[in-house]
Amino acid sequence: MSGKYYNPNGPRRKKKMTVGRFLKRYSFWLVAAVLFVFCVVVTVGIVKEIVGPKNPQDSQLSTEQGGIDGSNPSNGADSTQSTQSGPSKEVLAVLDEAKNLANGYDYVAAIELLRSFEGYETQQEIVDTIALYEEQDDKLVSQTKQQLNNVPHIFFHSLIVDADRAFDGDGEEDGYNLYMCTTAEFVSIMEQMYQNGYVLVNPHHIAYEVTDETGTHMVYGDIRLPAGKKPFLLSQDDLNYYSYMIGVGDGKNETPIFVDKTGDGFAHKVVIDENGYPVCEYMDADGNIHVGDYDLVPLLEKFIQEHPGFSYKGARAMLGVTGYEGVFGYRTKPSYEGKMGTEAYQKEVEQAKQVAQCLRDHGWIIASHSYGHPRYGDLTAGRVDADSTRWENTVQVIVGDTDVILYPHGSDINSWRQYSFANEKYKILYEDGYRYFFNVDSTIGWTQITDTSFRGGRVNIDGYRMWNSAEKLAVFFDVESVFDPRRPTPVPPLSGSM
Ligand SMILES: [Zn+2]
């Protein structure tokens, strides 16, 4: 070994002498040169920090960790050193606002916002950030029409917080096992879908109604995402916290049932936290009330805060509500007023209205899930009309107008053929303002867009589907690794539906 590398007669000895002399003579210049190189390296480092990684291989990283976060001078002490006094408060604020837009892949709006800042050309941080966003915008790819026609849609019911209470062997256990997921399962599913490149969109991003010289009709949207990212739709049915889940009621009587500790381990209402975010109240088995991430809404809010690239342009899920007990856990059914007294009833209504506004402000879409949860497919047109009108008069007045309906039991008003106004039920629902119609269909991504409607199939994510269709769900997540071990198995066969 040594023979190969050691040459006693080689230049080594000679060099040693020369180096010593050289050092004595040129030490000042050497130190100066080293300092200069050091300064260059540091400067390049700072510039990189501001501009962000030039070649973000992983778009997730570029969106959420390196690129945008790194580009925001408010995030690092390093970057403030790059200017004499550091960017002003106003500059930091506009950069922050732009970052929020960029996180949702809306680089165009982010750039527009930055350019609207007066004198932005003289603000290096803004100029650099615009350059970075332009670069990232160039990398986005428009979804093709075919892709827009195949956006998968998954849905959940209320999530089980305490599996021991849900799976306690009572009469509801099988229903929960079939139709519900636990909070742990939901979070694992979102994590895996995020890792698999899914990005939450809302149906208005896919297609929307315009009125032009040819009349009013649906047009396809332009969803632009980094290569490899895939849009998906998400909804939750029955965000009502029915009395059978949260207390002793069966939901069918005329007495409003509020939460008690005999509940089956679900949240019992949506409330607004001190930061203005929608969260949930949950009563544990000892009767203590907790406020936090106890259902899909707050869990998804939190997940998107941690992974902003999971939501395209601020999209959230669609939330289907019925009216026969109330909405979001508030006992707002009109006939309760007589039992509760006007003051107590009005308080429920007021709180539910505030929650609806809070949800809307955060990008959630509130949808009709009918008033009484009947199968629209089986009803006469007259009864569809009556149920829809009742929803408008008792629910819409609280949650606001909507153009989305999530059919109860997934029961559609038509065969697979396109909707037409020859279908009386469709005509009624169209006139009631609905444009987005979702049934339940195990075919992933089934969509039908016409001039007047957007119709889609949804895949239920629950015990039944996970137990029976693991291979089908593999496109979203790995069932085995998310399946809650507290869930009784085998999951029972279907018995009715929710
Ligand atoms: Zn339902």
Distance 270 CA to ligand 1 centre (A): 18
Same domain, 333 and 434: yes
Does 494 reside within a domain? no
Report which DSSP code applies to 75: G
Same domain, 210 and 357: yes
Same domain, 175 and 133: no
Of 104, 137, 170, the last residue of a domain is 137
Fill in the amino acid letter for 424.
E
Q: Which residues of the chain are modeled with pLDDT < 50?
A: 1-17, 22, 43-83
Distance 410 CA to ligand 1 centre (A): 8
Quick one: pLDDT at residue 170? 87
Distance 235 CA to ligand 1 centre (A): 11
Does 490 reside within a domain? no
Same domain, 201 and 54: no
Of 80, 111, 137, the last residue of a domain is 137
Distance 296 CA to ligand 1 centre (A): 15
Quick one: pLDDT at residue 6? 37
Does 289 reside within a domain? yes
Does 231 reside within a domain? yes
Does 5 reside within a domain? no
Does 329 reside within a domain? yes
Same domain, 233 and 108: no
Same domain, 179 and 196: yes
Which residues is 266 bridged to in the sheet?
160
Range of the domain at 55: 11-137
Distance 373 CA to ligand 1 centre (A): 6
Question: What is the rounded distance in angstroms from the CA atom of residue 268 to the CA atom of residue 355?
Answer: 14
Tokens 């997921």 sit at which residue? 181
Does 495 reside within a domain? no
Quick one: pLDDT at residue 41? 52
Same domain, 132 and 158: no
Distance 407 CA to ligand 1 centre (A): 8
Same domain, 122 and 175: no
Domain total of the chain? 2
Same domain, 123 and 181: no
> How far is C-alpha 391 from the geometric centre of its chain's CA atoms?
26
Quick one: pLDDT at residue 21? 54
Domain with 431 in it: what CATH number?
A: 3.20.20.370
Same domain, 432 and 345: yes
Of 69, 104, 137, the last residue of a domain is 137
Contact 63, 103 (CB under 8 A): yes
Quick one: pLDDT at residue 485? 96
Same domain, 177 and 238: yes
Helix (H) or strand (E) holding 222: none
Distance 265 CA to ligand 1 centre (A): 18
Q: What is the pTM assigned to this prediction?
A: 0.82
Closest CA to 400 of 365, 429, 369, 435: 365
Same domain, 42 and 125: yes
Tokens 């950069």 sit at which residue? 95
Distance 239 CA to ligand 1 centre (A): 9
Quick one: pLDDT at residue 258? 84
Does 2 reside within a domain? no
Question: What is the rounded distance in angstroms from the CA atom of residue 357 to the CA atom of residue 400?
Answer: 8
Quick one: pLDDT at residue 498? 52
Contact 356, 399 (CB under 8 A): yes
